[in-house]
Structure 1
Amino acid sequence: MASATATNPAMRARDDLDSTWTYLEKNVNNVMTKLQEGLDMKTYMGVYTAVHNFCTSQKAATSQNQGQVALSQSHRGAHLLGEELYTLLGDYLTAHLKEVLVASESHSDEALLTFYIREWKRYTDAAKYNNHLFRYLNRHWVKREIDEGKKNVYDVYTLHLVKWKDDFFKAVESKVMEAVLRLVEKQRNGETIDQMQIKAIVDSFVSLGLDELDSTKSTLDVYRMYFERPFILATKDYYTNESRRFVAENSVVEYMKKAEARLEEEKERVGLYLHPDIMKKLMETCNEALISAHSVLLRDEFQVLLDNERTEDLARMYKLLSRIKDGLDPLRTRFEAHVRKAGLAAVEKVSAQGDNFEPKVYVDALLEIHTKYQQLVNVAFNGESEFVRSLDNACQEFVNHNQVCKTNSTRSPELLAKYADQLLKKGAKAADESELEELLVQIMVVFKYIEDKDVFQKFYSRMLAKRLVHTSSVSDDAETSMISKLKEACGYEYTNKLQRMFQDVQISKDLNIAYKDFNDKLIEDNPDRKIVDSTFQILGTGFWPLNAPNTPFAPPAEIAKAVDSFSKFYDSKHNGRKLTWLWNLCKGEIRANYIKSQKVPYTFQVSTYQLAILLLFNDADKLDYSDIKEITKLTDETIEPAISILCKARVLNASPEDGKAVPGTSYSLNYNFKNKKVKINLNITPKTEQKVESEDTHKTIEEDRKLLLQAVIVRIMKGRKKLKHVHLVEEVINQVRNRFPPKISDIKKNIDALMEKDYIERLDNDELAYIA
């Protein structure tokens, strides 16, 4: 009988398993329940050795003579024993956790959380310890099972977590979350709570996330399902109810402050005790409940805040509505309409003054609105590009289509150019260098919104030409700075002629130095030769927007002699070039030696025509209008403004006294002339002449536009060869819009004009073709 027992390997293995597990279970239980008391080294080594010996014992039936078969069976035996030990440990953990579950039923709310956290800490600490004790099982049997692809096999520590999740966690998670949510609600209501409790719960839920396909990896699945989902739902309910109540009892501004504070609290809450993974969903939920649900109410308040310039509250509204999809679109539309209305109203105030307002007043009105709302965009709307676009759209509208532009659509660029001229021309109230630069920058702000940039260019170039010719620019640096700004905004072609004008002025300076040397040598050779002190400017015909005078003129002998001298000098330098004298732009100074009572003779600054008239009185005390006209050869239209200024300044006396420039009116020098200044400027452009000049400029602009449109049409057709009429019109608009907004009717007229000139022809199906 004894011999039969001894020869039964299966029974011996069963006995070893039972006795080994009895020993192991006792010590595992001590680890699970009395870990704080510790495990002495002898016991620790005993448990470790028991696991090792048990896993390596080969108790399966073997035979010394079975060779390879015996070896295979011995492996299967070790495999079987490891599996049974693993199963027994799992069964123990299940039984242990049932006891923990029973104990938990007597706890609720915060007491349950305290219990859960304490048990979790005790259990996971024990799991780590057991993982060391069963290390041999992990290294050999568990590893081999996992390597062979077996499912639901984990290292001992992970086995503890799996058992906790299946046998305890799933039974209590809903009660635990209810307790957590009640705690969070208390905090939201202003009560103080133990935040570390919730953090511990979160960490626990995160630790239970195991990857079923790879036990060495973890996931957030458990956390997301059992913590994040109920937390998000509770948050939505809480803020939906709270915001509804708050809005009913408070103003919109107060509600925005409340919502802003709540959003900040929730963001901080993530950092205090929630997992970072929840941030996106939590913020989306809060945005939905606190902002989206009340977005209509918020937007309705926007106009009130704009009207009252509540920048801080506008910034608050912007920040809130920027958190939801398309939340700001209606605001941008209203903002654009508001700025446009404000701009039109500002211009209307200016136009109410009549037609004689200063360009500065007009430009300042435009800038004031832009500056005000640019600052609002920067401060309240964080300089956001879409709000900047709304501001730009509004500014473009009220700069180009306002009360002042009703009678003349190109009034804005004309006034802007005149304002620039006032700044860049020498005057009594000249700004210092830094101020002037800032004012030029502001001009460019308005210039950006000007649609008819070609109109500005034409007026600006004419005024620049006069400043250069009359040497009345405040400084070359300021002129250069303005041109460089225009070049940066519109490109090289836009400012090419302006830069060439500057070059001509510099060349003229060098030429005058050479002429002075030339003239000095002539005087050395001929001491009796006397020529008035004069300077000359050579202006390239193709670059200066200046026209030759349309009146004949016989310059006085003094002037004629100087002109003749310079012409000979110039011809010696540049053979074959023709000089056309722009008498209407020439000026000079004449000294009044005839007033004996004046110790220091008066000096009159006059135009060349005025100079010619006054010099006649060197030979006569009194002259008839007809005599003046006959000697100077000037037309009535030219004499009348020149002589009327001399009479108005009391330099000449007219008889009869109304001084009308007609035959029969005689003029004489006023020997009793008096003025506080010694140097008196009589070279004043009459307003009627300024008006004519403005009209001429507009005519030139129309002609230039026609030529530009035709050039663009030809360039497009030359490249495309064939093109539909509608597509040609679109391309022309796209290429020209940076210079001016072309009218479709003008494009069509120029297409017809090019057909007549045989540049293009019409084909079937409304198609056009280029004629080579």
Structure 2
Amino acid sequence: MPLSNANQRNLPEQQSQENDLTSSKKRRLSDNCSSQNNKRSRENSELSPMTDSQKRANFSALTNPSNGINRHASPLANSKPGSTKKLIIKNFKEKPRLPDNFQALTWDKLAESVQAIHTSRSINSSLEELYQAVENMCSHKMSAALYDQLKQICENHVKSNITQFLEYPFIKTKFLKKMDNIWQSHCRQMIMIRSIFLFLDRTYVLQTSSVMSIWDMGLDLFRSNIVGHHIVQNRTVEGLLQLISRERSGEAVDRQLMKSLLRMLSDLQIYHDSFEKKFLEATDRLYAAEGQRLMQERDVPEYLAYVDKRLGEENERLLHYLDPSTKKNLVSCVEKQLLDQHLNTILQKGLNQLLSENRIQDLSLMYQLFSRVKDGLKELSIAFAAYIKTTGRLIVVNTDNDPEKDRDMVQKLLDFKEKLDNVIDICFAKNEKFINGLKESFEHFINQRQNKPAELIAKYVDSKLRSGNKEATEEELERLLDKIMVLFRFIHGKDVFEAFYKKDLAKRLLVGKSASVDAEKSMLSKLKQECGAAFTSKLEGMFKDMELSKDFMLTFKQQMQHIDTPGGIDLTVNILTMGYWPTYMPMEVHLPAEMVKYQEIFKKFYLGKHSGKKLQWQSTLGHCVLKACFPGGKKELQVSLFQTLCLLLFNEGDVFTFKEIKLATAIEDGELRRTLQSLACGKARVISKEPKSKDVEDDDKFLFNDGFKHKLCRIKINQIQMKETQEENTSTTERVFQDRQYQVDAAIVRIMKTRKALSHNLLISELYKQLKFPVKPTDLKKRIESLIDRDYMERDKEDSNQYHYVA
């Protein structure tokens, strides 16, 4: 930057100072004259006495001095106090003349001092004298000649230095040091010269736009005569590039030397043209080759660490010696060759591995580096979504129908989701693009397998809300339910979830296996908030029935206090509203006479309170507590109603065949086999089977187990009630599909009733908008045909793709 601009002063200010100097000199002359006249006046006063008029000041008595300054009598002599005093100053009568050889003598003195500066000798004259000499020449309109003479002497000196660069042997480091020394000397010399010729810089240069400041002139001379020389310039730039290359290879270099030379190029305004272009080309070639080689040799984490290291090194160079204007192009060059050119390769080669191994630090670095490149985050989010879909599909799809895989599916999905959430929070800076990609990907792969994920999520909730679940506290369970609700949002077949959830909830409530009423109601609240009141109305009705049943049983127990209890047994009944609860197939079994009598008493009492209602006994979900006496001690057995009927037979005998038990209890064949298997082949074998095997055959015999022992007093054997049978699963699924058909039919009729006439394609489109579950076009076509057969709608006689509503 030109140093002359820092201390420049406006011309009017200089002229003002010159006028002040002239006035000061004139005042000094006037004061001298006054002092001489006063002296004479004092001498006269000693010779004769003073009159009154003489005692008063008489300025008119002063004679005019020979220097041309006239002083008039002051009006104060004969005027009243307070009047103004007038002072008149006149110029010299003759203008001072300079010696004829003034310019030559002065320049010789200045030229000698400039040469002394160039040759690093001491200056004979003081800087004040030299400055005054420059001021005098400028004051007498010699500025232009002075400037030209100064420029010529400086140019001659600069030109004399070029030969040593051309003759100097080209050893890069030494050459660069030589260049730096000459440059530093030139700068020091120009600063010294400018301080001497500062008056010229601040007057003539400012007034003349066609000339450069003394500092800029020095830069221009150095640029055009030394650095501008093609040999010198090429050697300098080549030497700098070689030093940078050596530093990139790991060698230690003189950064201060490089900083000084690069600043020189920048000051001379040839940095961009002579150095930066070649530097960026060399950088581009280096990193292009390096990127190709290392992408093949190293794995992705190592490669990313190397790229980050390289970027850090280049930023250090910018900090230490490169010009800041190079930063954008340099960083862009490194990012392009090491990242942009290899985005797809990096993602294909390493992203899946990093995500699978949960490499948080490496993923953070990948996100940070990809964010520097245009479309880097876009490509990363696409690859991230693809990984989620691929991995998620492997979790959800079960081509081998492996029950173990289905059992673990929901837990794996929760773990997978938690891991990805953690990656997005820590590594991807909670970027919305990745959050949305995660949601879309989960929704995509979780519905690749229709209906089954919804069923398994419902069963997973059931396993966590059962009383046997000791894994979590209430707070942990609440957090788990929140995570499950996230998965629930992704599934399309929410009606399937509702059906299985309702079935399992019914078992938990009726068998008394619910872990916490608060947790149950919390889950219900979450479902209501997510899907609306219509979705949970039946589930809420189930809870209401249980509460009403408790209140009713209190009234019934009070009534039974006045009646003898049949057989000394205690009966608890849950009254269920048929529309709220799952559909259960009624099964007529042979109950003990005491239980039948107790049922009749309750029925009479209930109908007495609620006339017009009908009771239907459901034995499948009944459970009992039996007191049993074994040789090893008394035990209480918590069993299902069907298990109770089988065990009570052993009060009448020690051995029964399968057929005898079936005849005595009237339990359905499949259910009886499951029941006997749980009693004779489970962990608590209160009866034994002959022959011993896992399956129950028609000819098997069952015996009372005299040697039964158990460490607990109350033993639960009714877990069989909570297990889902294949028939039960199939029945639930079929009911869902049946309900879907009713919903499709209702939607078709609703649309046609509103529109009256509609084409096939528009009708299908409207149905997809209204239906909340996945359905195939072929299934919709079947329902349309069914409604046409039932005369709800008809085809147009001329256009078979057009439908009309039949009122």
TM-score bucket of the superposed structures, by smaller chain: 0.5 to 0.7
Task: Give the stretch that moved more between structures: 753-762 or 426-435.
Answer: 753-762
Shift of 1:472: 0.9
Q: Which residue of 2 aligns with 1:455?
A: 496
- CA distance 1:197–1:689, shift in 2 (3 Å): closer
- CA distance 1:238–1:700, shift in 2 (3 Å): same
2:332 aligned with 1:271? no
Task: Please report the RMSD computed on the Cα atoms of aligned residues, expressed in angstroms.
Answer: 6.2
Contact persistence 2:295–2:303 (CA under 8 A):
yes
1:105 aligned counterpart, secondary structure: helix
Q: Which residue of 2 aligns with 1:66?
A: none
Shift of 1:436: 5.3
- CA distance 1:486–1:200, shift in 2 (3 Å): farther
2:334 aligned with 1:286? yes
From 212, 224, 237, the equivalent of 1:177 is 237
Shift of 1:169: 3.6
2:725 aligned counterpart, secondary structure: helix
2:734 aligned with 1:699? yes
Q: Which residue of 2 aligns with 1:360?
A: 407
| Distance in 2 (alpha carbons) for counterparts of 1:140 and 1:577 | 119
- CA distance 1:648–1:288, shift in 2 (3 Å): closer
Contact persistence 2:673–2:696 (CA under 8 A):
no
2:731 aligned counterpart, secondary structure: helix
TM-score normalised per structure 2: 0.64
1:98 aligned counterpart, secondary structure: helix
List per-residue Cα deviations over 1:126-183 (Å, max 9, x = no partner): 54555555555565555566xxxx5x55554444444444454433433321121122
Read off the aligned partner of 1:111 and give its amino acid letter: K
Q: Which residue of 1 aligns with 2:468?
A: 427
Structure 1 segment 386-465 matched on structure 2, within 5 A: 401=448, 409-427=450-468, 450=491, 452-465=493-506
2:779 aligned with 1:743? no
Q: Which residue of 2 aligns with 1:101?
A: 162
From 671, 674, 687, the equivalent of 1:641 is 671
2:496 aligned counterpart, secondary structure: helix
Q: Which residue of 2 aligns with 1:120?
A: 183
| Distance in 2 (alpha carbons) for counterparts of 1:51 and 1:582 | 128
Structure 1 segment 455-494 matched on structure 2, within 5 A: 455-479=496-520, 482=523, 492-493=530-531
List per-residue Cα deviations over 1:653-709 (Å, max 9, x = no partner): 99xxxx9999xx9x9997979664654556565799722322222123223434555
2:228 aligned counterpart, secondary structure: helix
| Distance in 2 (alpha carbons) for counterparts of 1:734 and 1:230 | 63
List per-residue Cα deviations over 1:314-333 (Å, max 9, x = no partner): 86888878866667999988
Contact persistence 1:763–1:769 (CA under 8 A):
no
Contact persistence 2:135–2:200 (CA under 8 A):
no
| Distance in 1 (alpha carbons) for counterparts of 2:356 and 2:548 | 61
- CA distance 1:610–1:135, shift in 2 (3 Å): same
- CA distance 1:203–1:539, shift in 2 (3 Å): farther
Read off the aligned partner of 1:512 and give its amino acid letter: K
Contact persistence 2:455–2:497 (CA under 8 A):
yes
Read off the aligned partner of 1:413 and give its amino acid letter: A
> Gaps spanning 5+ residues in structure 1: where?
1-8, 58-80, 210-221
1:583 aligned counterpart, secondary structure: coil
Q: Which residue of 2 aligns with 1:110?
A: 173
Contact persistence 2:255–2:321 (CA under 8 A):
yes
Read off the aligned partner of 1:123 and give its amino acid letter: H
Structure 1 segment 568-647 matched on structure 2, within 5 A: 571=610, 583-584=618-619, 586-592=621-627, 600=634, 602-607=636-641, 641=671, 645=675
Q: Which residue of 2 aligns with 1:75?
A: none
Q: Which residue of 1 aligns with 2:550?
A: 512
How many corresponding residue pairs? 688
Contact persistence 1:762–1:769 (CA under 8 A):
no
From 578, 598, 606, the equivalent of 1:558 is 598
List per-residue Cα deviations over 1:515-548 (Å, max 9, x = no partner): 63x4576578x57689975556566666x44226
Q: Which residue of 2 aligns with 1:53?
A: 139
- CA distance 1:740–1:88, shift in 2 (3 Å): farther
Read off the aligned partner of 1:606 and give its amino acid letter: S
Contact persistence 1:47–1:133 (CA under 8 A):
no
Read off the aligned partner of 1:464 and give its amino acid letter: L
Contact persistence 2:760–2:802 (CA under 8 A):
yes
- CA distance 1:136–1:509, shift in 2 (3 Å): farther
2:639 aligned counterpart, secondary structure: strand
Q: Which residue of 1 aligns with 2:67?
A: none
- CA distance 1:135–1:451, shift in 2 (3 Å): farther
Contact persistence 2:158–2:226 (CA under 8 A):
yes
1:229 aligned counterpart, secondary structure: helix
Shift of 1:201: 2.0
| Distance in 2 (alpha carbons) for counterparts of 1:112 and 1:642 | 104
Read off the aligned partner of 2:277 and give its amino acid letter: R
Q: Which has the larger radius of gyration?
A: 2
| Distance in 2 (alpha carbons) for counterparts of 1:199 and 1:320 | 28
Read off the aligned partner of 1:274 and give its amino acid letter: L
> Gaps spanning 5+ residues in structure 2: where?
1-94, 681-685, 690-694
| Distance in 1 (alpha carbons) for counterparts of 2:551 and 2:125 | 110
| Distance in 2 (alpha carbons) for counterparts of 1:84 and 1:562 | 131
Read off the aligned partner of 2:236 and give its amino acid letter: V
Shift of 1:410: 3.1
| Distance in 1 (alpha carbons) for counterparts of 2:536 and 2:283 | 67
2:263 aligned with 1:203? yes
| Distance in 1 (alpha carbons) for counterparts of 2:745 and 2:220 | 83
Structure 1 segment 675-754 matched on structure 2, within 5 A: 676=710, 679=714, 681=716, 683=718, 690-706=725-741, 708=743, 729=764, 733=768, 740-749=773-782
Contact persistence 1:410–1:455 (CA under 8 A):
yes
| Distance in 2 (alpha carbons) for counterparts of 1:128 and 1:752 | 101
Read off the aligned partner of 2:725 and give its amino acid letter: Q
Shift of 1:104: 3.5
| Distance in 2 (alpha carbons) for counterparts of 1:83 and 1:735 | 93
Q: Which residue of 2 aligns with 1:188?
A: 248
| Distance in 1 (alpha carbons) for counterparts of 2:294 and 2:673 | 81
Structure 1 segment 308-327 matched on structure 2, within 5 A: none
Q: Which residue of 2 aligns with 1:223?
A: 271
Contact persistence 2:676–2:696 (CA under 8 A):
no
Q: How high is the sequence identity, in percent, across the aligned residues?
A: 25
Shift of 1:190: 3.3
List per-residue Cα deviations over 1:544-575 (Å, max 9, x = no partner): 44226545799722133235445656x5xxxx
1:473 aligned counterpart, secondary structure: coil
Read off the aligned partner of 2:166 and give its amino acid letter: E
- CA distance 1:84–1:497, shift in 2 (3 Å): same
Q: Which residue of 1 aligns with 2:46?
A: none
Read off the aligned partner of 2:135 and give its amino acid letter: T
Shift of 1:197: 1.1
Shift of 1:237: 3.3
From 546, 552, 560, the equivalent of 2:582 is 546
